[in-house]
A and B are shown apart, each in its own frame.
Chain A
Amino acid sequence: MNKERHFHISRRKELPWYRAWAIRGAAIVLALLVCALVTMLLTGEDPLRIYATMFAGAFGTARKAWVLGQNLAILLCISLAVTPAFRMRFWNIGAEGQVLISALACAACMILLADRVPNWLLIVIMSAASILAGAIWAVIPAFFKARFQTNETLFTLMMNYVATQLVAYFVIVWEVPKGSGTIGIINQSTQAGWLPQIGDSKYLLNILVVGVLTILMFLYLNYTKHGYEIAVVGESERTARYVGIKVDRVIIRTLLLSGALCGVAGLLLVGGTDHTVTTTIAGGRGFTAVMVSWLAKFNPLAMIFASFLLVFLGRGANEISTVFSLNHSFGDILTGVILFFIIGSEFFINYQLHFRSEADYGAPGSERPTEGGKGKAHV
């Protein structure tokens, strides 16, 4: 009896939703405690003040709240874009490139057509161009996957670099003023091709568009025949073939949608808020979106919270580093700690630990125990 295991891990059958959320909540509380500890040890600052600063960084002023909303909208839009592909187990990590290429298409329309067509037509053309560019960028790897079973993860990743290089090239072609290496604000004076502003915030339009898209995506995935086909293909291609679903067609159709939504994100970024294009306009959100989509278990409504959390953490971390004049990496450390706990909590939702005590073995020659699970603790 000298080498017994005192605990083991087993898969949970099912957990009521409230217990799952209790575990997640506990993870966030724990994360905040650890963050506080880390903060005190490393900086000597008062953790409560740090949290207050984080909060202020996200919501402190109306402008900050709007920026938070804008960042959330764009991240959510890209997350929505990758989700149908993910539900189909098509690991599209090329959202970054799809956003970039559509941003480029949008900027190209604004630069080249500004003086030639009326403003309303320009907006129509650049919207179509952005969406089409994103869709094409996504459908290329989808075509090769459907036809030749190429690996979509590598393919979409590589497409990112192509998009970045294309943007870098055209930034030099269109740079204003010459030699600056940037395009600058496009059509600053005429505002041609700028998406209309609702009220006095230039961010409201983006937020509304993405809000509507979120609901549409939720309905599309859960209640339409297309959404059902995506789920079947994702779960098992053999089942899909067995019931006569044309798998190739579903893959291509879904990636067209996925890319088109990245196109919307590019359009909103260039036409709606930034009015310029740079190689960093997507800002890594194509990859963060992957995390948002997974954290939300591919549920569009849950993605609102997931992207809020990530944007909030990012904005808060920024604020901390400026206010306390800490290195920017400190904010990243806190974000990392919090994400570690949130993702780690999924382990405790899916698995449980059993501890067993000596009593469970029963003494040699004992009678059958009267109770089944005595001396056992569930975590």
Chain B
Amino acid sequence: MEEKTPAVQMRDITKRFGTTLANDKVWLDIYRGEILALLGENGSGKTTLMNMLSGIYFPDAGKILVDGREVVIRSPRDAFELGIGMIHQHFKLVDVFTAAENIVLGLHEPGRLDRKAVAEKVRAICETYGFDVDPDQKVYDMSVSQKQTVEIVKVLYRGADILILDEPTAVLTPQETDKLFAVLRNMRADGKAIVIITHKMHEVEALSDRVAVLRHGQFVGDMLTAKTNAQEMTNMMVGHAVSLNIRRPEPKDPKPRLQVEGLTVRSMDGILKLEDVSFTANSGEILGVAGISGSGQKELLEAIAGLQPVERGSIRYLEPDGGGAELLGMDPLDIAARGVVLSFVPEDRLGMGLVGSMDLTDNMMLRSFRRGRSPFVDRKSPRTLASQVVSELSVSTPGLGIPVRRLSGGNVQKVLVGREIAAAPTVLLTAYAVRGLDIGASHTIYDLINRQKEQGVAVIYVGEDLDVLLELSDRILVLCGGKVSGIVDGRTTSKRAVGMMMTKLGGDAHE
């Protein structure tokens, strides 16, 4: 590849948001017939850089060359004209349209829309690369992976030969990921240039030909994937050596703490979200919860936390001394009044767990502000707690008076987890606790959770990264379409087995 001309050359690309330098004179080459993995921690500027290539942002300085010619990309339309297409993390599809309708949406082709011709062209693209899309299927009937396929076909339909995928596997099961990778390899063979943004090392190793690493908005280096390894890449991303192993201490004296039986939850519009879910969470143990997104994880945690109306079932809290309490039908205040310290780190950190516009102190007192009889709030102890959390979890913040919204994702999560842990819970519920967090911050969170476990807390950990779930959990509860597909031992099960259980009740066992 020495003599090949890069499809894209990005030179000295600089982008600033306010006072933060998101990209600092970044150089990047993208070649045809090659899969480039763009690696970097959160906030290292990967997505920003690619957004400038796809016309969403405009660089403050620097230039972009496509096939050796300098170009100005001012809008996604400009990018398409240059054959550049990006598949975003959040899909941008119209639910009530079919796949084919979504694919041609926004194209200004002269004459009437010829649905048949469109469907034909879509089928042709699918055949070439091995996609599995029915052009006439409505988007609301599709699984996440199918929606993603539509997004990719949409880009190909527009004639893109430089494809950018932003964390494409975050929402996929292992089986779906394999399928996606096969398609990407086909596209590579067809001479397309492919960039995938990710921070999952094993995917980089499995798929990419070359790796480019960004750190704090700067280009650190690129190398052939074959000539490096996960440890080296991680060190480059983080800037110093880190350990990739997650600790899993043996549970000490586990006793049943939370007993869920026959839990059935219906959403507001009558859709069954959880059906007859039963399990026991033990003290001193991490119970992982796996499942395709939307399999009822959110409803399960919110039902336990008293935030979700339940159709039937029972959630019994078993006290260490043998007593017990039925939590069903209680709201969070009732639960606390009952003396059960139940901490909940919800998925939506700034929309539920914290108040984005409030500062650290005010967020610390969200749960405790009622304390005392005075009509005035006491900000002294929350302030102490805030500075404690900041120093113990090394939250990087300019001060306690800054709105949490301004903190980076990892620091926001540290504030939230810090507050929930400070309550000294006996049950800790976490939903996607490390979503969007970089390696360093993720390991801080695993550590905190492990320490809670060692103190005898019953931890329920809802996760999406199966590798992590398998390394961290003592037992794994697998949900499939709102039902319990099985509960397996985290030490002995395999990723493949859990993946099968996620897509099919009981997995392989019943075949």
Partners in one complex: yes
Could you say which residues of chain B place their CB within 8 Å of the CB of A372?
A: 14, 21, 24-25, 61
Could you say which residues of chain B place their CB within 8 Å of the CB of A227?
A: 377
Chain A stretch 221-242: residues in CB contact (< 8 A) with chain B: 223-229, 231-232, 235-236, 238-239, 241-242
Q: How many inter-chain residue pairs (CB < 8 Å) link A and B? A: 105
Contact of B60 among A223, A356, A364, A366 (CB under 8 A): A356
CA distance A13 to B74 in the complex (A): 24
CA distance A228 to B351 in the complex (A): 17
* Shortest Cβ distance from residue B298 to the other chain A in the assembled complex, whole angstroms: 12
CA distance A5 to B78 in the complex (A): 14
Q: Is the beta-carbon distance between A376 and B12 smaller than 8 angstroms? A: no
CA distance A354 to B61 in the complex (A): 12
Given the known interface contacts A360-B61, A362-B63, the answer about A10 and B18 at a Cβ–Cβ threshold of 8 Å is yes
Chain A stretch 1-30: residues in CB contact (< 8 A) with chain B: 1, 3-5, 8, 10-14
Contact of B355 among A14, A231, A368 (CB under 8 A): A231
Q: Is the beta-carbon distance between A235 and B331 smaller than 8 angstroms? A: no
Could you say which residues of chain A place their CB within 8 Å of the CB of B307?
A: 241-242
* Shortest Cβ distance from residue A231 to the other chain B in the assembled complex, whole angstroms: 7
Q: Is the beta-carbon distance between B61 and A356 smaller than 8 angstroms? A: yes
Given the known interface contacts A242-B344, A372-B24, the answer about A361 and B362 at a Cβ–Cβ threshold of 8 Å is no
Q: Is the beta-carbon distance between A239 and B351 smaller than 8 angstroms? A: yes
* Shortest Cβ distance from residue A296 to the other chain B in the assembled complex, whole angstroms: 17
Q: Is the beta-carbon distance between A5 and B62 smaller than 8 angstroms? A: no
Beta-carbon nearest neighbor of B305 in chain A: A242
* Shortest Cβ distance from residue B59 to the other chain A in the assembled complex, whole angstroms: 9
Could you say which residues of chain A place their CB within 8 Å of the CB of B336?
A: 244
Beta-carbon nearest neighbor of A236 in chain B: B351
Residue interface mask B344-378, A partner, CB < 8 A = 1: 10101001111111100010011101100001110
Given the known interface contacts A4-B72, A13-B19, A368-B12, the answer about A242 and B63 at a Cβ–Cβ threshold of 8 Å is no
| Chain B count of residues within 8 A CB distance of the other chain | 46
Given the known interface contacts A238-B351, A368-B12, the answer about A243 and B63 at a Cβ–Cβ threshold of 8 Å is no
Could you say which residues of chain A place their CB within 8 Å of the CB of B331?
A: 244
Given the known interface contacts A1-B72, A224-B377, the answer about A239 and B12 at a Cβ–Cβ threshold of 8 Å is no
Q: Is the beta-carbon distance between A3 and B72 smaller than 8 angstroms? A: yes
Interface size class on chain A is: 35 or more
Contact of A362 among B12, B18, B333, B354 (CB under 8 A): B12
Could you say which residues of chain B place their CB within 8 Å of the CB of A11?
A: 17-18
Contact of A244 among B24, B25, B72, B332 (CB under 8 A): B332
Chain B stretch 47-71: residues in CB contact (< 8 A) with chain A: 58, 60-63, 70
Beta-carbon nearest neighbor of B17 in chain A: A10
Chain A stretch 343-379: residues in CB contact (< 8 A) with chain B: 354, 356, 360-362, 364, 366, 368-369, 372-373, 376
Given the known interface contacts A356-B61, A361-B62, A369-B25, the answer about A232 and B376 at a Cβ–Cβ threshold of 8 Å is no
Q: Is the beta-carbon distance between B355 and A239 smaller than 8 angstroms? A: yes
CA distance A12 to B19 in the complex (A): 8
Contact of B74 among A5, A224, A354, A376 (CB under 8 A): A5
* Shortest Cβ distance from residue B341 to the other chain A in the assembled complex, whole angstroms: 13
CA distance A130 to B11 in the complex (A): 70
* Shortest Cβ distance from residue A250 to the other chain B in the assembled complex, whole angstroms: 13
Q: Is the beta-carbon distance between A8 and B19 smaller than 8 angstroms? A: no
* Shortest Cβ distance from residue A242 to the other chain B in the assembled complex, whole angstroms: 5
Given the known interface contacts A10-B17, A12-B18, the answer about A362 and B62 at a Cβ–Cβ threshold of 8 Å is yes
* Shortest Cβ distance from residue A118 to the other chain B in the assembled complex, whole angstroms: 34
Contact of A228 among B16, B58, B346, B362 (CB under 8 A): B362
CA distance A238 to B375 in the complex (A): 24
* Shortest Cβ distance from residue B427 to the other chain A in the assembled complex, whole angstroms: 15
CA distance A225 to B362 in the complex (A): 11
CA distance A4 to B61 in the complex (A): 12
CA distance A244 to B367 in the complex (A): 8
Contact of A225 among B17, B20, B355, B369 (CB under 8 A): B369
Contact of A5 among B58, B70, B344, B354 (CB under 8 A): B58
Q: Is the beta-carbon distance between A228 and B377 smaller than 8 angstroms? A: yes
Beta-carbon nearest neighbor of B18 in chain A: A13
Residue among B16, B25, B354, B377 with the highest chain A CB neighbour number at 10 A? B377
Q: Is the beta-carbon distance between A243 and B375 smaller than 8 angstroms? A: no
Could you say which residues of chain B place their CB within 8 Å of the CB of A225?
A: 369-370, 375-377
Chain A stretch 90-136: residues in CB contact (< 8 A) with chain B: none
Given the known interface contacts A231-B358, A238-B351, the answer about A243 and B12 at a Cβ–Cβ threshold of 8 Å is no
Could you say which residues of chain A place their CB within 8 Å of the CB of B20?
A: 13
Q: Is the beta-carbon distance between B70 and A364 smaller than 8 angstroms? A: yes
Could you say which residues of chain A place their CB within 8 Å of the CB of B352?
A: 236, 238-239, 242
* Shortest Cβ distance from residue B347 to the other chain A in the assembled complex, whole angstroms: 11
Beta-carbon nearest neighbor of B375 in chain A: A224
* Shortest Cβ distance from residue A108 to the other chain B in the assembled complex, whole angstroms: 33
Residue among A8, A238, A243, A373 with the highest chain B CB neighbour number at 10 A? A243
CA distance A227 to B351 in the complex (A): 19
Q: Is the beta-carbon distance between A235 and B63 smaller than 8 angstroms? A: no
Could you say which residues of chain B place their CB within 8 Å of the CB of A228?
A: 362, 365, 369, 377
CA distance A1 to B346 in the complex (A): 48
Contact of B366 among A5, A243, A362 (CB under 8 A): A243
Q: Is the beta-carbon distance between B12 and A369 smaller than 8 angstroms? A: yes
Could you say which residues of chain A place their CB within 8 Å of the CB of B346?
A: 242
CA distance A107 to B497 in the complex (A): 78
Residue interface mask B317-348, A partner, CB < 8 A = 1: 00000000000000111001000000010101
27 intermolecular pairs with C-beta atoms under 8 Å apart: A4-B72, A5-B74, A12-B18, A13-B406, A225-B370, A225-B375, A228-B369, A232-B355, A235-B355, A235-B358, A236-B351, A236-B356, A238-B351, A239-B352, A239-B353, A242-B346, A242-B352, A242-B353, A243-B366, A244-B336, A360-B60, A361-B61, A361-B62, A362-B12, A368-B25, A369-B12, A372-B61
Residues of A near any B CB (own CB < 8 A): 1, 3-5, 8, 10-14, 223-229, 231-232, 235-236, 238-239, 241-244, 354, 356, 360-362, 364, 366, 368-369, 372-373, 376
Closest A-B pairs by Cβ, 10 of them:
A13-B18, A244-B333, A244-B332, A360-B61, A235-B355, A238-B352, A243-B366, A242-B352, A224-B375, A223-B376
Given pairs A11-B18, A369-B25, A372-B14, 5 additional interface contacts (CB within 8 A):
A12-B18, A223-B376, A224-B375, A242-B307, A368-B12
